[in-house]
Amino acid sequence: MVHLLSYIVFIPLVAALLVLLTPKVYQNLYRVLTVLGLGLTLVLIIFAVSKFDGSVQGAINSEANLQLVEKTEWFSMSLGSLGKFSVDYFVGTDGLNVGMLLLAGIVLLIGAIASWNIKEKQKAYFGLYLLLSSSILGCFVALDFFLFYLFFEFMLLPMYFLIGIWGGPRKEYAAIKFFLYTLVGSILILIVMIGLYNSVYDPVKTALEAGYEASQVEQVQQLVQDGTIKSGQIVKSFNMIHMADADNYIPGSFLEKSGLAKIFGQPARWIAFLALLIGFAIKLPAVPFHTWLPDAHVEAPTPISVVLAGILLKVGGYGLIRTAFVMFPDSAYHYSWLIGFFGMFAIIYGALNALAQKDLKKLIAYSSVSHMGFVLMGLAAMTVEGISGAIYQMYSHGLISAMLFLIAGVIYDRTHDRMIENYGGLASQMPKYTVFVAIAFFASLGLPGFSGFIAELMVFIGSFKSSAIPAWMPVVATTGLVLGAGYYLWTLQRMFFGKFWVKDKNWVNSLTDLNSREYLMLVPLVILILVFGIYPSLLLDLINNSVESFADHLFQFRK
């Protein structure tokens, strides 16, 4: 299907416009339009994934590695003697983003179903939710940095309002904190994007501008390097694939591969990598940039917590891979020890904080901080197993965390209370709910048979065989697994086993078991978590060749 990715990205936006145009007297249609729009989007994503050929091989910095590509010049302008400015509408898929695209489709639809009981300001809520959905999907498929950044920024405002208007008692504080943290990260990313634009050219467009054939790319690259092609003929580019190829950097530019340019006495490429690392680590979030996350989760309505944990955090991990690691492999190797250490520290720190929580939602939020530490450690390992484990962890955690926040929302919808100590023996009152809670907890702590086990196992295998990080890091990180089992099993024991009791007797009649809508959300997630835990090749076959190309791209800096 032509323009398949464009349909996937913009159908939620069209649905948002339909919501805005629908009169308030038909407000019951808002949620129907949202579910139908995201349902159609998921169907198209599944179709796209079915068309994706995991056997395609190509360098990670080559467009030959891409599939379902849509590329056309969006706008351009002449800069006189400084060359030409060009921005493309460029979207495509490879093994680095195809799994994230599928995850986004699943979680966004689940979140839309979870939004069914939103009663206040429905037009604004569902309009913003669909705008957020379109932005997230665009982020995962955009391969022009300018386009990627637009989608990345468009995620910020809808999420700010969704938390700030429909959140809990401290919603304004949580929304502002989220906005400010993410804005700082966005500014850092913007600075590097501008630096990359001033350093990278499009070899094909430059060839045409200089009077050569589009097929004479290698010759044109050599002519640019030796100065035969002058700056006025160079077409600068935001193309993220070109930015990953050191041969496309303009000689003498700030971020060229020689690394001669300095900032505060350090190579400019190292500083640019750190800026991207911090910018996306805020979104991931990685310790110590994580403090916005627990507040945002606690105050956000359940559907928004589902989307935040299930997808938005993964934008941070994906952004790190697509930009920082692919574009600055030399800097990635230089800072691999630091990245691995912060990953290890996040695993343990997040688990210890989760163990101390009294609020169920806050416990799950800190468990997310801990589990995202595995992503950092897997990437820092710079091995095929470690990188595959990091991507698998993002996908697996997206499903599991969505389920965890849904089960927190089930209890909150009935009693408007999330304090662990206010419940006991819920298994006798809500046996079916208890089964789903147990599955989610065991999946998150990494029990074999669930997708989380595969992800963490691959991260540990890749980390132990890595030469980029010391072996003691994954050894220490295993402590996080023990702590994870501790806080989940302790919560399960306190809330669900023993004699039934609740803090407020008025809650007893409200604590009914799962309804059909809740089954509709939870059952598919359980099936997916089990399927990807038992048959991981469903995802690994899609990502393996791209991961191997990515690892080869990093290999020249690995010892």
Q: For residue range 426-464, what is the model confidence (pLDDT) as tens digits?
A: 999 999 999 999 999 999 999 999 999 999 999 999 999
SS3 letters across 436-480:
HHHHHHHHHCCCCCCHHHHHHHHHHHHHHCCCCCCCHHHHHHHHH
pLDDT of residue 219: 74
Rounded mean pLDDT, 219-236: 68
**Residues 21-79 pLDDT 10s:** 999 888 889 999 999 999 999 999 999 999 999 888 888 888 888 999 999 988 877 76
Is the Cβ–Cβ distance between 389 and 458 less than 8 Å? yes
Q: Which tens digits make up the pLDDT trace of 357-409?
A: 999 999 999 999 999 999 999 999 999 999 999 999 999 999 999 999 999 99
Question: What's the whole-number mean pLDDT along residues 307-312?
Answer: 94
Mean pLDDT of the chain: 90
Count other Cβ atoms within 10 Å, centred on residue 170. 12
Instruction: Evaluate whether 340 touches 360 at the Cβ level (below 8 Å).
Output: no
Average pLDDT over residues 323-334: 92
Listed in sequence order, the DSSP H helices in 84-197 are 98-114, 122-141, 145-154, 156-166, 171-197
38-43, long-range: CB within 8 Å, 24+ apart, which pairs? 38/12, 38/105, 38/108, 38/109, 38/112, 38/130, 38/133, 39/109, 40/11, 41/8, 41/11, 41/12, 41/105, 41/108, 41/109, 41/133, 41/137, 42/105, 42/106, 42/108, 42/109
On the question of pLDDT at 558 being above 60, the answer is no
The rounded distance, in Å, linking the Cα atoms of 298 and 305 is 8
**pLDDT tier, 203 (very low <50, low <70, confident <90, very high otherwise):** confident
pLDDT for residue 519 is more than 80: yes
Distance from C-alpha of 244 to C-alpha of 237, rounded to nearest angstrom = 12
- Rounded to an integer, the average pLDDT of 511-530 is 95
- Report d(CA 312, CA 59) in Å as an integer: 28
As a whole-number percent, the residues of the chain with pLDDT over 70 amount to: 94
Q: Do residues 371 and 397 lie in contact, with contact meaning Cβ atoms separated by under 8 Å?
A: yes
Q: Is the pLDDT of residue 19 over 80?
A: yes
pLDDT band of residue 1 (cuts 50, 70, 90) is low
Quote the distance between the C-alpha of residue 499 and its chain's center. 41
Which residue has 């950044």 as its token pair? 149
The pLDDT of residue 109 is above 70: yes
CB–CB of 40/133 below 8 Å?
A: no
- The pLDDT assigned to 112 comes to 96
Percent of the chain scoring above 90 in pLDDT: 73
Q: Do residues 129 and 333 make contact, with C-beta atoms less than 8 angstroms apart?
A: no
pLDDT of residue 260: 65
pLDDT at 259: 63
Those residues with Cβ within 8 angstroms of residue 26's Cβ, 6 or more apart along the chain or in another chain: none
pLDDT (0 to 100) of residue 541? 93
Give 337-353 pLDDT, tens digit per residue. 999 999 999 999 999 99
**Which carries the bigger pLDDT value, residue 472 or residue 56?**
472
